[in-house]
Structure 1
Amino acid sequence: MAVRRFAALSGFVFLLLWALGFFTSHLFGLFHLNVTHNVIHLVFGVLGLLAASQDGYAYRYSQVLGIVFIILAVLGFFVKNLFGLLTFGLSDNVLHFIIGAVGLYFGFVLVESPSPSRYSKPV
């Protein structure tokens, strides 16, 4: 259940970032935002909310989120501007790494056993 809450919460936050991206190009003066960032935020926001409907989807969403954002973080430390599409600053890289690490935790480390249903027989 925690992985589904994570998917829903991260989906909501990504959609909030997507909306804020229309009003500013630097969130809190630290994080770069542009059209490419907005598309990424929209995609992960919608997918997060959809994935929150089932455990399996939420785990897969968390795994993909973790892998993609760790790749973005590592890439950002070596490349400051990716083909003019994404601009990476230190604060962006740190945030991407944190998001990726949390996604990997929920996707791979936190494995919850299914809760018993009221129809299951005790053993």
Structure 2
Amino acid sequence: MTRDARDHAPARLAVQKVALAAAAVFALIGILGFVPGVTTHYGEMTFAGHHSGAELFGVFQVSVLHNLVHLLFGLVGLVMARRLAGARVFLAGGGALYLVLWLYGFAIDRDTPVNFVPVNDADNWLHLFLGFGMLATGLLLNDDAGTGGRLDTPFDRP
């Protein structure tokens, strides 16, 4: 890359940096879920379902499907965070998705096949905080870019 190309490369905005960081963490968590030692009771991991005895960091119940979802979500986020609108959609949409997942984990009987992800109490609390955090960040973090005119400027007057 020439010096001129670097000088004209757009700087990443704060919302993009946060989205990139969040996506990278999701991808890393997805990978770590497959690492024995980081995931306790690794031999008890199932593909899906509430019978999986594996726990990431000895706390968060995981399965192969759960790890793959984290990895895929992280990879999608890395692609989306390259653009401002994508970063906002990843954070706000992902936050809304995690709030739905929190409600799901709160509402289901965890000892039934409906708990196919699987989730436990630690997962539910994490989903709640992730949901609110990502949603708020995606909606509220603003670099005055891509937001249109000032809110106090009527659209029909210059």
For the aligned pair, the TM-score class normalised by the smaller chain equals: 0.7 to 0.9
- SS where residue 73 of structure 1 aligns? helix
Candidates 51, 59, 62, aligned match of 2:80: 51
Alignment of 1:106 with 2:118, yes or no, is no
Q: 1:33 aligns with which of 46, 62, 69?
A: 62
Structure 2 distance, partners of 1:39, 1:64, is 19
Counterpart selection for 2:117 from 70, 80, 86: 86
In structure 1, list runs of 5 or more residues that go unmatched: 116-123
Q: What is the percent sequence identity of the aligned residues?
A: 32
Q: Whole-Å Cα distance in 1 between the matches of residues 18 and 24 of structure 2?
A: 10
Instruction: Kindly provide the amino acid, as one letter, of the partner of residue 17 in structure 2.
Output: R
Which one has the largest radius of gyration? 2
Point out the more displaced range, 57-66 or 19-28. 19-28
Structure 2 distance, partners of 1:12, 1:2, is 15
CA RMSD of aligned residues (A): 1.7
Pairs aligned (count): 115
Using the TM superposition, give the Cα deviation of residue 85 of structure 1 relative to its aligned residue in structure 2, in angstroms: 1.9
Distance 1:16 1:47 in 2: 13
Cα distance, 1:109 vs structure 2:
2.4
Distance in 2, matches of 1:20 and 1:34, equals: 12
Counterparts of 1:105 and 1:86, CA distance in 2: 25
TM-score, with structure 1 as normaliser: 0.84
- What's the counterpart of residue 151 of structure 2? none
Distance 1:60 1:82 in 2: 31
